[in-house]
Amino acid sequence: MKKLALLLAVPLLLLLWWVAADRDSPPAVRFTRVARQTIRSTIPTNGKVEPVNWAAAHSATSGLVASVSVERGQKVQAGQVLITLESGGARAALESAQAQVAAAKAQLEVEHNGGRLADLAEIENSLSAAQVQRAFAERNLDSLKRLEGQNAATKLDVQTAQDTLTKAQIQVTQLEARKQTLVTGPDREMSEAKLRDAEAAVELAQHHLSETVIHAPMSGTLYQFDLKPGAYVQPGDLVGTIGRLDQVRVRVYVDEPELGRVSLGVPVSIRWDAKPDKQWWGKVDKLPTQIVALGSRQVGEVLCLIENPGDELLPGVNVNPEIVSQVVANAVSIPKQALHYESRGKGVYKLTGDHVVWQPVTLGATDVNNVQVLSGVALGDEVALPGDSEIKDGMRVKAIEQ
């Protein structure tokens, strides 16, 4: 029995010794060394693409689209035809106005020549005949006066000849007066006014006809255009939007707490879900002037200029910008997970021998994984990483280098 009891006591004593020894052994803690790295401090967020330089083409008149000369996404030149509207009414109005001009010019030409040709010819013929009669009466009067002096004609004959001459003179005077009054000054002024009105009507009709052809207001890419032949447009309707897309503006929405890290000219990278393998670069061009609500966020709208070779970034698309607020090369840095934030401040647990000691630190730039340390630790120092065991200042540990 004594031997059996002894055999049972030995394992129990060994177990108790192992438990006591394990209690006294220090916990295993992972450590990492302070090293130099390039810290890229970035602000990832969202944004929307818009053109820097753009112009909209609008319809100035109403009508059906007769023909479409372009398509969406096409590069166009300033003045290039985009669409043409039905123009039958405008052409008819122009032809009518042109006919009125021709009639007014013809009337004015007649009046400049003294009146209507038929009336003028009749007066001219009558005037010529009256002038011949007057000349004959003058000769007859002179002849009778000589004969009267020779007592070969009576005074009555002379008086009769004088009356005939007077009548002929009156007829000539009346015809000349009629010729002068065939076209008066007011008549010419009225005809000239009609011609001006007709010419103004032609200009207006030409303008209305020109409005049936809509041109590109600038050179660039037609990035907004949806019209098809047969569509009906009203005055002021948008026909298309044209912009230069070799460089675009991205309106980047930065949360209010992050705005202090943004400055003019810092680099910006852009990614677009539609083309995940591509990246575009630019810079911050304008800082926000106010804070606005964006859903549940309070943001500032940071405007960035982005180079867009190939015009692949399209206005209106949602993109994923990342503002590079700071780049520090060869920065003394540690992983973010090594930092501890306690009531006494922020710091790290540094390995000293087989113990850890609390060490306050001053931080600089940060990126997604690492943070620059300005003071508190030096290159080569080992700092504790979080693990299963709670770390306390001055505790003995078993160091495991990461």
101 lies in the same domain as 195: yes
In a domain, 217, yes or no: no
pLDDT, position 208:
81
Rounded average pLDDT per 10-residue block, the chain, 402 residues:
52 49 74 94 95 94 91 94 86 78 72 56 74 83 80 80 83 73 59 78 81 93 93 93 95 95 95 95 96 95 95 94 93 95 93 94 91 95 90 91 82
How would you write the chain as a 3-class SS string? CHHHHHHHHHHHHHHHHHHHHHHHCCCEEEEEECEEEEEEEEEECEEEEEEEEEEEEECCCCEEEEEECCCCCCEECCCCEEEEECCHHHHHHHHHHHHHHHHHHHHHHHHHCCCCHHHHHHHHHHHHHHHHHHHHHHHHHHHHHHHHHCCCCCHHHHHHHHHHHHHHHHHHHHHHHHHHHCCCHHHHHHHHHHHHHHHHHHHHHHHHHHCCEEECCCCEEEEEECCCCCCEECCCCEEEEEEEEEEEEEEEEEEHHHHHHCCCCCEEEEEECCEEEEEEEEEEEECCCCEEEECCEEEEEEEEEEECHHHCCCCCCEEEEEEEEEEEEEEEEEEHHHCEEECCEEEEEEEECCEEEEEECEEEEECCCEEEEEECCCCCCEEECCCCCCCCCCCECEEEEC
**Range of the structural domain that residue 129 is part of:** 92-207
In a domain, 337, yes or no: yes
In a domain, 167, yes or no: yes
In a domain, 242, yes or no: no
Task: Give the CATH number for residue 381.
Answer: 2.40.420.20
Residue finishing a domain among 146, 175, 207: 207
In a domain, 245, yes or no: no
110 lies in the same domain as 35: no
Among 357, 316, 92, smallest CA distance to 212 is for 92
35 lies in the same domain as 133: no
Domains held by the chain: number: 2
In a domain, 99, yes or no: yes
33 lies in the same domain as 99: no
pLDDT, position 21:
43
In a domain, 166, yes or no: yes
Residue finishing a domain among 184, 207, 230: 207
pTM here is 0.60
CA distance 304 to 269: 10
pLDDT, position 87:
79
In a domain, 172, yes or no: yes
Residue finishing a domain among 173, 207, 241: 207
pLDDT, position 5:
52
33 lies in the same domain as 137: no
pLDDT, position 182:
56
132 lies in the same domain as 34: no
35 lies in the same domain as 101: no
pLDDT, position 20:
44
